[in-house]
């Protein structure tokens, strides 16, 4: 059985990573998507185990101590991490594996798995990114301001990635990502 490369999808908050992944879940069953663990509160419409695994900070820190994460990072005051075991199992089985993680996490994965394919999802314009973040209506203005400040920093990291996909159309972004992942 052949082992596929791990693919990491990253980009600033609000760029559409979750939307592209949701599209792939519906249209590309051959891709296994890792569900991250987070300490942030569940947003309306999210499902435990589908969107994220929601835990408190103490539980998350115990998982760090146990070596349970492939990567983890703090973002906008919350912790996010990728459970190591299911990713390793799916890669060993030859599955197409996709991680949707923040840039700090992508850098950690690059250190642990240098052959991982890092894909940056870029917004069509800064104004569109800001509109998307504000349009969610799920976060207070201070959190949006922190996310926008962080997005400015993250956009500068684009050159660290193996490929860049412009997030103007969900279907087109998903098509390009699948093309990059296909063996």
Q: What is the pLDDT of residues 114-134, one digit of tens each?
A: 999 999 999 998 988 888 888
Residue 86 lies in a domain: yes
Residue 1 lies in a domain: no
162 DSSP 8-state letter: S
Q: What is the pLDDT of residues 62-108, one digit of tens each?
A: 999 999 999 998 877 899 999 999 999 999 999 999 999 889 899 99
Q: What is the pLDDT of residues 146-161, one digit of tens each?
A: 888 888 999 999 999 9
DSSP secondary structure string, 146-161?
HHHHHHHHHHTTGGGS
Amino acid 1: pLDDT: 40
Amino acid 156: pLDDT: 92
Residue span of the structural domain in which 129 resides? 6-181
> Domains in the chain: how many in total?
1
Residue 173 lies in a domain: yes
Residue 70 lies in a domain: yes
Provide the whole-model pTM. 0.85
Tokens 């969610």 map to which residue? Answer: 136
Q: Are strands 31-33 and 117-122 parallel, antiparallel or unpaired?
A: unpaired
- Name the residue among 146, 139, 173, 180 with its Cα closest to residue 12: 146
Residue 106 lies in a domain: yes
163: domain CATH number is 3.40.50.300
């Amino acid at each position: 059985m052949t082992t596929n490369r791990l693919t990491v999808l990253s980009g600033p908050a609000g760029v559409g990573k979750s939307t592209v992944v949701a599209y792939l879940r519906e249209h590309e069953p051959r891709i296994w998507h890792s569900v991250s663990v987070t300490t942030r509160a569940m947003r309306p419409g999210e499902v435990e185990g589908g969107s994220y695994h929601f835990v408190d900070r103490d539980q998350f820190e115990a998982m760090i101590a146990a070596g349970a994460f492939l990567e983890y990072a703090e973002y906008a005051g919350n912790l996010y991490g990728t459970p190591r075991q299911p990713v390793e199992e799916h890669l060993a089985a030859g599955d197409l594996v996709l991680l949707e993680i923040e840039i700090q996490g992508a850098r950690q994965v690059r250190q642990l798995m240098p052959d991982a394919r890092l894909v940056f999802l870029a917004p069509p314009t800064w104004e569109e990114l800001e509109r998307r973040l504000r349009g969610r209506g799920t976060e207070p203005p201070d959190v949006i301001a922190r996310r926008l400040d962080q997005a400015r920093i993250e956009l500068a990291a684009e050159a660290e990635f193996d490929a860049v996909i412009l997030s103007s159309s969900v279907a087109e972004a998903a098509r390009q990502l699948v093309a990059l992942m296909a063996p």
